[in-house]
Structure 1
Amino acid sequence: MLHICICDDEKVQRNNLKVIISTQLELKGIDFHIMECEDGESLIESLNKNKNCFDIIFLDIEMNGINGIETAKQIRDINDIAVIIFVTGFADYVFNGYEVRALNYVLKPYKEEKILDILSQALKQIDSIQNKFLMIQLNRNIYRIYFHDIIYFISDKRKLIVVTDENTYEFYGKLDDIEKEVPSFFIRIHQRYLVNLNFVSCVEDNELEIKGQKLPISRSKYQDLMIAFAKTMLR
Protein backbone atom coordinates (compact mmCIF):
# COMPACT_ATOMS: atom_id res chain seq x y z
CA MET A 1 0.00 0.00 0.00
CA LEU A 2 1.13 3.53 -0.82
CA HIS A 3 1.10 5.85 2.20
CA ILE A 4 0.74 9.58 1.57
CA CYS A 5 0.63 12.53 3.96
CA ILE A 6 -0.80 15.95 3.10
CA CYS A 7 0.39 18.50 5.63
CA ASP A 8 -1.29 21.91 5.35
CA ASP A 9 -2.94 24.13 7.95
CA GLU A 10 -5.78 25.00 5.53
CA LYS A 11 -8.44 22.29 5.42
CA VAL A 12 -9.82 23.39 2.03
CA GLN A 13 -6.36 23.19 0.45
CA ARG A 14 -5.79 19.72 1.96
CA ASN A 15 -9.11 18.50 0.60
CA ASN A 16 -8.51 19.91 -2.90
CA LEU A 17 -5.14 18.18 -3.12
CA LYS A 18 -6.53 14.96 -1.68
CA VAL A 19 -9.29 14.78 -4.30
CA ILE A 20 -6.84 15.18 -7.19
CA ILE A 21 -4.37 12.61 -5.82
CA SER A 22 -7.06 10.09 -4.84
CA THR A 23 -8.75 10.22 -8.23
CA GLN A 24 -5.47 9.62 -10.08
CA LEU A 25 -4.36 6.73 -7.86
CA GLU A 26 -7.78 5.07 -8.15
CA LEU A 27 -7.53 5.30 -11.94
CA LYS A 28 -4.10 3.66 -11.78
CA GLY A 29 -5.45 0.88 -9.54
CA ILE A 30 -2.98 1.70 -6.77
CA ASP A 31 -3.90 0.75 -3.21
CA PHE A 32 -3.28 3.83 -1.05
CA HIS A 33 -4.00 5.63 2.18
CA ILE A 34 -3.87 9.39 2.66
CA MET A 35 -3.37 10.95 6.08
CA GLU A 36 -3.96 14.65 6.68
CA CYS A 37 -1.95 16.77 9.12
CA GLU A 38 -2.69 20.39 9.93
CA ASP A 39 0.79 21.20 11.26
CA GLY A 40 4.39 20.05 11.16
CA GLU A 41 4.35 18.94 14.77
CA SER A 42 1.72 16.24 14.23
CA LEU A 43 3.55 15.02 11.11
CA ILE A 44 6.82 14.65 13.00
CA GLU A 45 4.99 12.90 15.84
CA SER A 46 3.73 10.26 13.38
CA LEU A 47 7.23 9.75 11.96
CA ASN A 48 8.70 9.37 15.43
CA LYS A 49 6.29 6.51 16.04
CA ASN A 50 7.12 4.87 12.70
CA LYS A 51 9.86 6.45 10.58
CA ASN A 52 8.64 4.66 7.44
CA CYS A 53 4.94 5.47 7.80
CA PHE A 54 4.88 7.74 4.72
CA ASP A 55 6.13 7.19 1.19
CA ILE A 56 5.15 10.62 -0.14
CA ILE A 57 4.70 13.84 1.83
CA PHE A 58 3.01 16.93 0.38
CA LEU A 59 4.25 19.66 2.71
CA ASP A 60 2.98 23.22 2.90
CA ILE A 61 5.71 25.77 3.58
CA GLU A 62 3.71 28.55 5.24
CA MET A 63 2.09 26.94 8.29
CA ASN A 64 1.33 27.88 11.87
CA GLY A 65 3.92 26.54 14.30
CA ILE A 66 7.06 25.22 12.65
CA ASN A 67 7.08 26.03 8.95
CA GLY A 68 7.45 23.53 6.14
CA ILE A 69 11.19 24.08 5.66
CA GLU A 70 11.97 23.35 9.30
CA THR A 71 9.54 20.41 9.26
CA ALA A 72 11.33 18.97 6.22
CA LYS A 73 14.68 19.20 8.02
CA GLN A 74 13.24 17.23 10.92
CA ILE A 75 11.75 14.70 8.50
CA ARG A 76 15.20 14.12 6.99
CA ASP A 77 16.65 13.52 10.46
CA ILE A 78 14.16 10.67 10.85
CA ASN A 79 13.57 9.39 7.33
CA ASP A 80 16.02 9.84 4.48
CA ILE A 81 14.00 8.36 1.62
CA ALA A 82 10.42 9.62 1.88
CA VAL A 83 9.54 11.74 -1.16
CA ILE A 84 8.97 15.35 -0.09
CA ILE A 85 6.96 17.68 -2.33
CA PHE A 86 6.62 21.28 -1.19
CA VAL A 87 3.33 23.15 -1.49
CA THR A 88 3.61 26.93 -1.50
CA GLY A 89 2.03 30.12 -2.72
CA PHE A 90 5.44 31.73 -3.27
CA ALA A 91 7.99 30.47 -5.81
CA ASP A 92 10.80 32.17 -3.84
CA TYR A 93 10.66 29.40 -1.24
CA VAL A 94 11.38 26.66 -3.75
CA PHE A 95 15.17 26.98 -3.59
CA ASN A 96 15.08 25.90 0.06
CA GLY A 97 14.10 22.45 -1.19
CA TYR A 98 17.66 21.57 -2.22
CA GLU A 99 18.81 21.30 1.39
CA VAL A 100 16.25 18.61 2.22
CA ARG A 101 16.31 16.95 -1.22
CA ALA A 102 12.68 17.78 -2.05
CA LEU A 103 11.56 16.16 -5.28
CA ASN A 104 9.60 19.15 -6.57
CA TYR A 105 7.05 21.78 -5.59
CA VAL A 106 3.41 22.64 -6.23
CA LEU A 107 2.34 26.27 -6.44
CA LYS A 108 -1.01 27.45 -5.09
CA PRO A 109 -3.62 27.72 -6.50
CA TYR A 110 -3.29 24.11 -7.62
CA LYS A 111 -3.06 23.14 -11.26
CA GLU A 112 -4.18 19.55 -11.67
CA GLU A 113 -1.79 18.87 -14.57
CA LYS A 114 1.22 19.94 -12.47
CA ILE A 115 0.14 17.81 -9.51
CA LEU A 116 -0.34 14.72 -11.68
CA ASP A 117 3.08 15.21 -13.29
CA ILE A 118 4.81 15.49 -9.92
CA LEU A 119 2.86 12.54 -8.52
CA SER A 120 4.07 10.46 -11.48
CA GLN A 121 7.68 11.48 -10.73
CA ALA A 122 7.24 10.51 -7.10
CA LEU A 123 5.85 7.07 -7.97
CA LYS A 124 8.81 6.40 -10.27
CA GLN A 125 11.26 7.41 -7.55
CA ILE A 126 9.58 5.12 -5.03
CA ASP A 127 9.68 2.20 -7.47
CA SER A 128 13.38 2.73 -8.15
CA ILE A 129 14.14 2.63 -4.42
CA GLN A 130 11.89 -0.25 -3.37
CA ASN A 131 12.98 -2.57 -6.17
CA LYS A 132 16.66 -2.50 -5.21
CA PHE A 133 17.87 -4.84 -2.52
CA LEU A 134 20.70 -7.17 -1.54
CA MET A 135 20.04 -10.87 -0.92
CA ILE A 136 22.39 -12.61 1.51
CA GLN A 137 22.35 -16.08 3.04
CA LEU A 138 23.42 -16.67 6.62
CA ASN A 139 23.41 -20.32 7.59
CA ARG A 140 19.94 -21.49 6.61
CA ASN A 141 18.39 -18.03 6.60
CA ILE A 142 18.04 -15.70 3.61
CA TYR A 143 17.78 -11.97 4.17
CA ARG A 144 16.60 -9.24 1.81
CA ILE A 145 18.20 -5.89 2.71
CA TYR A 146 17.12 -2.80 0.81
CA PHE A 147 20.04 -0.72 -0.35
CA HIS A 148 18.48 2.49 0.96
CA ASP A 149 18.63 1.00 4.49
CA ILE A 150 22.34 0.14 4.30
CA ILE A 151 24.60 2.75 5.92
CA TYR A 152 27.90 1.21 4.81
CA PHE A 153 29.82 -1.96 4.01
CA ILE A 154 33.07 -3.02 5.68
CA SER A 155 35.54 -5.49 4.22
CA ASP A 156 37.18 -7.67 6.89
CA LYS A 157 39.53 -10.20 5.30
CA ARG A 158 37.26 -12.64 3.45
CA LYS A 159 34.09 -11.34 5.11
CA LEU A 160 31.82 -8.39 4.41
CA ILE A 161 29.90 -6.60 7.13
CA VAL A 162 26.66 -4.77 6.25
CA VAL A 163 25.70 -2.04 8.71
CA THR A 164 22.10 -0.77 8.94
CA ASP A 165 20.30 1.25 11.61
CA GLU A 166 18.79 -1.86 13.13
CA ASN A 167 21.18 -4.73 12.40
CA THR A 168 24.65 -5.81 11.32
CA TYR A 169 25.10 -8.74 8.94
CA GLU A 170 28.29 -10.69 8.17
CA PHE A 171 28.78 -12.88 5.13
CA TYR A 172 31.55 -14.09 2.83
CA GLY A 173 32.23 -11.88 -0.17
CA LYS A 174 34.40 -9.25 -1.81
CA LEU A 175 33.85 -5.51 -1.61
CA ASP A 176 34.90 -5.15 -5.25
CA ASP A 177 32.00 -7.40 -6.28
CA ILE A 178 29.47 -5.57 -4.08
CA GLU A 179 30.62 -2.23 -5.46
CA LYS A 180 29.43 -3.34 -8.92
CA GLU A 181 25.94 -4.18 -7.61
CA VAL A 182 25.05 -1.16 -5.48
CA PRO A 183 23.15 1.94 -6.70
CA SER A 184 24.98 5.15 -7.61
CA PHE A 185 24.45 6.69 -4.16
CA PHE A 186 27.14 4.36 -2.80
CA ILE A 187 30.81 5.30 -3.12
CA ARG A 188 34.08 3.63 -2.19
CA ILE A 189 36.02 5.79 0.27
CA HIS A 190 38.69 3.30 1.30
CA GLN A 191 39.93 -0.18 0.49
CA ARG A 192 37.73 -1.43 3.34
CA TYR A 193 34.71 0.90 3.20
CA LEU A 194 31.79 1.45 0.81
CA VAL A 195 29.31 4.04 2.08
CA ASN A 196 25.79 5.24 1.36
CA LEU A 197 26.12 8.96 0.60
CA ASN A 198 22.58 9.63 1.80
CA PHE A 199 23.73 9.01 5.39
CA VAL A 200 26.92 11.11 5.20
CA SER A 201 26.65 14.30 7.23
CA CYS A 202 30.21 15.69 7.05
CA VAL A 203 33.39 15.20 4.99
CA GLU A 204 36.77 16.30 6.33
CA ASP A 205 40.35 15.93 5.06
CA ASN A 206 40.85 12.28 5.94
CA GLU A 207 37.54 11.08 7.35
CA LEU A 208 33.80 11.44 7.06
CA GLU A 209 30.95 11.31 9.54
CA ILE A 210 28.13 8.90 8.84
CA LYS A 211 25.32 8.35 11.35
CA GLY A 212 27.56 9.63 14.16
CA GLN A 213 30.51 7.40 13.23
CA LYS A 214 33.88 8.43 11.77
CA LEU A 215 35.28 6.46 8.82
CA PRO A 216 38.66 6.97 7.12
CA ILE A 217 39.01 8.32 3.57
CA SER A 218 41.87 7.20 1.35
CA ARG A 219 43.75 10.06 -0.26
CA SER A 220 43.11 8.59 -3.71
CA LYS A 221 39.34 8.51 -3.06
CA TYR A 222 38.95 12.01 -1.61
CA GLN A 223 38.31 13.99 -4.81
CA ASP A 224 35.72 11.56 -6.19
CA LEU A 225 34.00 11.52 -2.82
CA MET A 226 33.77 15.32 -2.63
CA ILE A 227 32.24 15.53 -6.12
CA ALA A 228 29.69 12.82 -5.33
CA PHE A 229 28.86 14.34 -1.93
CA ALA A 230 28.30 17.77 -3.51
CA LYS A 231 25.86 16.26 -6.01
CA THR A 232 23.74 14.82 -3.20
CA MET A 233 23.34 18.35 -1.83
CA LEU A 234 21.79 19.47 -5.13
CA ARG A 235 19.28 16.67 -5.56
Structure 2
Amino acid sequence: MENQRFSPANEMLDDAREEIEALMTQLDAAKDDCSINKLAEKHIRRALLEMRGCLDYLAHQIWKTIGFNTEEHLIEFPICRDEGAFANAIRNRFPDLDDKHPEIYTLLLQFQPFNGNHWIEYLRKYVNVVKHRHPVQQRRKNQGVVWKIGNATAFEISGGGKVVLHGTTVQGTAPTTHAPIEFSETSNLGDVQAAYPTLDWTNRYESVKFNFPDDIDVCKMLDSSEQRIRVLLEKVAYCLR
Protein backbone atom coordinates (compact mmCIF):
# COMPACT_ATOMS: atom_id res chain seq x y z
CA MET A 1 0.00 0.00 0.00
CA GLU A 2 1.45 3.37 -1.06
CA ASN A 3 -0.16 5.34 1.76
CA GLN A 4 2.25 4.93 4.70
CA ARG A 5 -0.32 6.33 7.11
CA PHE A 6 -2.02 2.95 6.98
CA SER A 7 1.08 0.84 7.63
CA PRO A 8 0.16 0.35 11.33
CA ALA A 9 -3.26 -0.95 10.25
CA ASN A 10 -1.64 -3.40 7.86
CA GLU A 11 0.68 -4.57 10.63
CA MET A 12 -2.31 -5.22 12.89
CA LEU A 13 -3.93 -7.32 10.19
CA ASP A 14 -0.67 -9.19 9.59
CA ASP A 15 -0.51 -9.98 13.31
CA ALA A 16 -4.14 -11.13 13.24
CA ARG A 17 -3.35 -13.38 10.27
CA GLU A 18 -0.49 -15.02 12.22
CA GLU A 19 -2.88 -15.81 15.07
CA ILE A 20 -5.47 -17.21 12.65
CA GLU A 21 -2.84 -19.43 10.98
CA ALA A 22 -1.87 -20.77 14.41
CA LEU A 23 -5.53 -21.66 14.98
CA MET A 24 -5.69 -23.36 11.58
CA THR A 25 -2.68 -25.49 12.51
CA GLN A 26 -4.36 -26.51 15.74
CA LEU A 27 -7.56 -27.24 13.86
CA ASP A 28 -5.72 -29.61 11.52
CA ALA A 29 -4.09 -31.35 14.48
CA ALA A 30 -7.55 -31.92 16.00
CA LYS A 31 -8.40 -34.29 13.14
CA ASP A 32 -6.01 -36.81 14.71
CA ASP A 33 -6.44 -35.81 18.34
CA CYS A 34 -9.89 -36.04 19.91
CA SER A 35 -8.48 -34.67 23.18
CA ILE A 36 -8.29 -31.19 21.63
CA ASN A 37 -11.67 -29.92 22.78
CA LYS A 38 -11.06 -26.21 22.26
CA LEU A 39 -8.82 -23.89 20.29
CA ALA A 40 -6.20 -21.79 22.08
CA GLU A 41 -7.96 -18.77 23.54
CA LYS A 42 -4.82 -16.63 23.34
CA HIS A 43 -4.85 -16.85 19.53
CA ILE A 44 -8.58 -16.09 19.32
CA ARG A 45 -8.20 -13.15 21.72
CA ARG A 46 -5.24 -11.63 19.88
CA ALA A 47 -6.82 -12.02 16.44
CA LEU A 48 -10.04 -10.35 17.57
CA LEU A 49 -8.30 -7.44 19.28
CA GLU A 50 -5.91 -6.82 16.38
CA MET A 51 -8.81 -6.67 13.90
CA ARG A 52 -10.85 -4.36 16.10
CA GLY A 53 -7.76 -2.20 16.59
CA CYS A 54 -7.32 -2.02 12.83
CA LEU A 55 -10.91 -0.85 12.32
CA ASP A 56 -10.57 1.84 14.98
CA TYR A 57 -7.25 3.00 13.54
CA LEU A 58 -8.98 3.26 10.20
CA ALA A 59 -11.72 5.40 11.76
CA HIS A 60 -9.11 7.72 13.28
CA GLN A 61 -7.40 8.15 9.91
CA ILE A 62 -10.72 9.10 8.35
CA TRP A 63 -11.28 11.62 11.16
CA LYS A 64 -7.80 13.14 10.86
CA THR A 65 -7.59 13.24 7.07
CA ILE A 66 -11.00 14.70 6.28
CA GLY A 67 -11.19 16.83 9.41
CA PHE A 68 -14.19 16.93 11.76
CA ASN A 69 -15.10 19.16 14.68
CA THR A 70 -15.57 16.25 17.08
CA GLU A 71 -13.53 14.92 19.99
CA GLU A 72 -10.93 12.36 18.97
CA HIS A 73 -11.40 10.14 22.03
CA LEU A 74 -14.96 9.43 20.85
CA ILE A 75 -13.82 8.11 17.50
CA GLU A 76 -14.20 4.40 16.80
CA PHE A 77 -15.30 2.39 13.81
CA PRO A 78 -19.12 2.37 13.69
CA ILE A 79 -20.76 -1.07 13.90
CA CYS A 80 -24.52 -0.58 14.03
CA ARG A 81 -27.51 -2.91 13.95
CA ASP A 82 -29.81 -0.59 12.01
CA GLU A 83 -29.75 2.50 9.81
CA GLY A 84 -30.93 4.80 12.59
CA ALA A 85 -28.06 3.83 14.87
CA PHE A 86 -25.65 4.22 11.97
CA ALA A 87 -26.95 7.71 11.19
CA ASN A 88 -26.46 8.71 14.85
CA ALA A 89 -22.93 7.28 14.93
CA ILE A 90 -21.93 9.16 11.79
CA ARG A 91 -23.50 12.39 13.04
CA ASN A 92 -21.63 12.15 16.37
CA ARG A 93 -18.24 11.11 14.95
CA PHE A 94 -18.10 12.18 11.30
CA PRO A 95 -20.78 14.87 10.81
CA ASP A 96 -21.76 15.49 7.18
CA LEU A 97 -19.50 12.67 6.00
CA ASP A 98 -21.99 11.84 3.24
CA ASP A 99 -21.45 15.36 1.85
CA LYS A 100 -17.73 15.74 2.60
CA HIS A 101 -16.68 12.33 1.33
CA PRO A 102 -19.57 10.25 -0.03
CA GLU A 103 -17.27 7.42 -1.14
CA ILE A 104 -16.09 6.84 2.45
CA TYR A 105 -19.65 7.16 3.75
CA THR A 106 -20.80 4.49 1.28
CA LEU A 107 -17.99 2.12 2.29
CA LEU A 108 -18.82 2.42 5.99
CA LEU A 109 -22.52 1.96 5.22
CA GLN A 110 -21.90 -1.13 3.11
CA PHE A 111 -19.93 -2.81 5.88
CA GLN A 112 -22.77 -2.64 8.42
CA PRO A 113 -24.59 -5.73 9.74
CA PHE A 114 -27.95 -4.46 8.49
CA ASN A 115 -26.52 -4.53 4.97
CA GLY A 116 -25.75 -8.24 5.16
CA ASN A 117 -22.31 -8.07 6.78
CA HIS A 118 -23.27 -10.10 9.83
CA TRP A 119 -19.65 -11.11 10.42
CA ILE A 120 -18.82 -7.63 11.72
CA GLU A 121 -21.57 -7.87 14.34
CA TYR A 122 -20.06 -11.17 15.54
CA LEU A 123 -16.64 -9.52 15.55
CA ARG A 124 -17.92 -6.78 17.85
CA LYS A 125 -19.68 -9.31 20.07
CA TYR A 126 -16.62 -11.49 20.65
CA VAL A 127 -14.26 -8.55 20.97
CA ASN A 128 -16.41 -7.43 23.91
CA VAL A 129 -16.16 -10.92 25.39
CA VAL A 130 -12.36 -11.02 25.31
CA LYS A 131 -12.00 -7.38 26.39
CA HIS A 132 -13.75 -8.28 29.63
CA ARG A 133 -11.54 -11.36 30.02
CA HIS A 134 -14.47 -13.74 29.85
CA PRO A 135 -13.65 -17.25 28.63
CA VAL A 136 -14.28 -17.89 24.95
CA GLN A 137 -16.89 -20.64 24.95
CA GLN A 138 -16.43 -23.23 22.19
CA ARG A 139 -17.98 -26.49 21.07
CA ARG A 140 -16.17 -29.07 18.97
CA LYS A 141 -18.04 -30.60 16.02
CA ASN A 142 -16.68 -33.63 14.17
CA GLN A 143 -17.77 -34.62 10.68
CA GLY A 144 -16.88 -38.08 9.40
CA VAL A 145 -14.39 -40.40 11.07
CA VAL A 146 -12.27 -43.38 10.07
CA TRP A 147 -11.51 -45.90 12.83
CA LYS A 148 -8.42 -48.06 12.23
CA ILE A 149 -6.65 -50.97 13.84
CA GLY A 150 -3.02 -50.49 12.89
CA ASN A 151 -3.12 -49.61 9.19
CA ALA A 152 -6.36 -51.48 8.50
CA THR A 153 -9.65 -49.60 8.33
CA ALA A 154 -12.23 -51.00 10.73
CA PHE A 155 -15.11 -48.54 10.32
CA GLU A 156 -15.87 -45.44 8.24
CA ILE A 157 -18.65 -43.39 9.81
CA SER A 158 -20.33 -40.16 8.70
CA GLY A 159 -23.61 -38.30 8.89
CA GLY A 160 -24.15 -39.01 12.56
CA GLY A 161 -24.05 -42.79 12.08
CA LYS A 162 -22.53 -45.27 14.50
CA VAL A 163 -21.49 -48.88 14.94
CA VAL A 164 -22.16 -50.59 18.27
CA LEU A 165 -20.44 -53.80 19.33
CA HIS A 166 -21.94 -55.97 22.06
CA GLY A 167 -19.24 -58.28 23.42
CA THR A 168 -17.87 -58.76 19.90
CA THR A 169 -14.43 -60.30 19.43
CA VAL A 170 -12.24 -58.19 17.12
CA GLN A 171 -9.20 -59.78 15.48
CA GLY A 172 -9.29 -62.56 18.03
CA THR A 173 -9.48 -60.12 20.95
CA ALA A 174 -12.46 -60.17 23.30
CA PRO A 175 -13.51 -56.86 24.90
CA THR A 176 -12.70 -56.18 28.54
CA THR A 177 -16.22 -54.94 29.22
CA HIS A 178 -19.75 -56.25 28.84
CA ALA A 179 -21.00 -52.75 28.09
CA PRO A 180 -21.76 -51.80 24.47
CA ILE A 181 -18.79 -50.26 22.64
CA GLU A 182 -19.75 -47.44 20.29
CA PHE A 183 -17.84 -46.19 17.26
CA SER A 184 -19.12 -42.83 16.05
CA GLU A 185 -18.06 -39.25 15.28
CA THR A 186 -18.18 -38.45 18.99
CA SER A 187 -16.79 -41.64 20.54
CA ASN A 188 -13.74 -41.36 22.77
CA LEU A 189 -10.61 -43.10 21.52
CA GLY A 190 -9.51 -43.86 25.07
CA ASP A 191 -12.73 -45.75 25.82
CA VAL A 192 -12.33 -47.88 22.69
CA GLN A 193 -8.68 -48.56 23.44
CA ALA A 194 -9.56 -49.58 27.00
CA ALA A 195 -12.14 -52.06 25.69
CA TYR A 196 -9.57 -53.69 23.38
CA PRO A 197 -6.21 -52.85 25.03
CA THR A 198 -4.08 -55.18 22.89
CA LEU A 199 -5.22 -53.60 19.61
CA ASP A 200 -3.69 -50.42 18.19
CA TRP A 201 -6.75 -48.22 17.63
CA THR A 202 -6.57 -44.82 15.93
CA ASN A 203 -9.19 -42.51 14.51
CA ARG A 204 -9.00 -39.57 12.11
CA TYR A 205 -11.80 -37.12 11.44
CA GLU A 206 -12.53 -35.93 7.93
CA SER A 207 -13.19 -32.45 9.26
CA VAL A 208 -13.36 -30.73 12.61
CA LYS A 209 -14.62 -27.30 13.53
CA PHE A 210 -15.01 -25.35 16.73
CA ASN A 211 -18.07 -23.16 17.12
CA PHE A 212 -18.89 -20.22 19.33
CA PRO A 213 -22.08 -20.76 21.42
CA ASP A 214 -24.29 -19.25 18.68
CA ASP A 215 -23.02 -21.92 16.24
CA ILE A 216 -20.57 -19.62 14.46
CA ASP A 217 -17.46 -21.39 13.16
CA VAL A 218 -14.52 -19.80 15.04
CA CYS A 219 -11.85 -20.20 12.34
CA LYS A 220 -14.12 -19.38 9.43
CA MET A 221 -15.42 -16.24 11.13
CA LEU A 222 -11.94 -14.97 12.01
CA ASP A 223 -10.51 -15.85 8.61
CA SER A 224 -13.26 -14.14 6.60
CA SER A 225 -13.23 -11.10 8.91
CA GLU A 226 -9.51 -10.53 8.39
CA GLN A 227 -9.89 -10.77 4.62
CA ARG A 228 -12.86 -8.40 4.51
CA ILE A 229 -11.20 -5.82 6.76
CA ARG A 230 -8.13 -5.92 4.52
CA VAL A 231 -10.33 -5.16 1.51
CA LEU A 232 -11.99 -2.28 3.37
CA LEU A 233 -8.60 -0.91 4.39
CA GLU A 234 -7.38 -0.90 0.80
CA LYS A 235 -10.51 0.87 -0.41
CA VAL A 236 -10.43 3.57 2.28
CA ALA A 237 -6.72 4.17 1.77
CA TYR A 238 -7.35 4.59 -1.95
CA CYS A 239 -10.13 7.12 -1.31
CA LEU A 240 -7.91 9.11 1.07
CA ARG A 241 -4.76 8.97 -1.08
Shorter-chain TM-score above 0.5: no
> TM-score range with shorter-chain normalisation?
under 0.3
Higher strand share: 1
Q: Relative to total residues, which structure has the larger helix share, 1 or 2?
A: 2
Larger Rg: 2
Q: TM-score of the superposition, structure 2-length normalised? A: 0.25
Larger relative contact order (Cα-Cα within 8 Å, sequence gap ≥ 6): 2
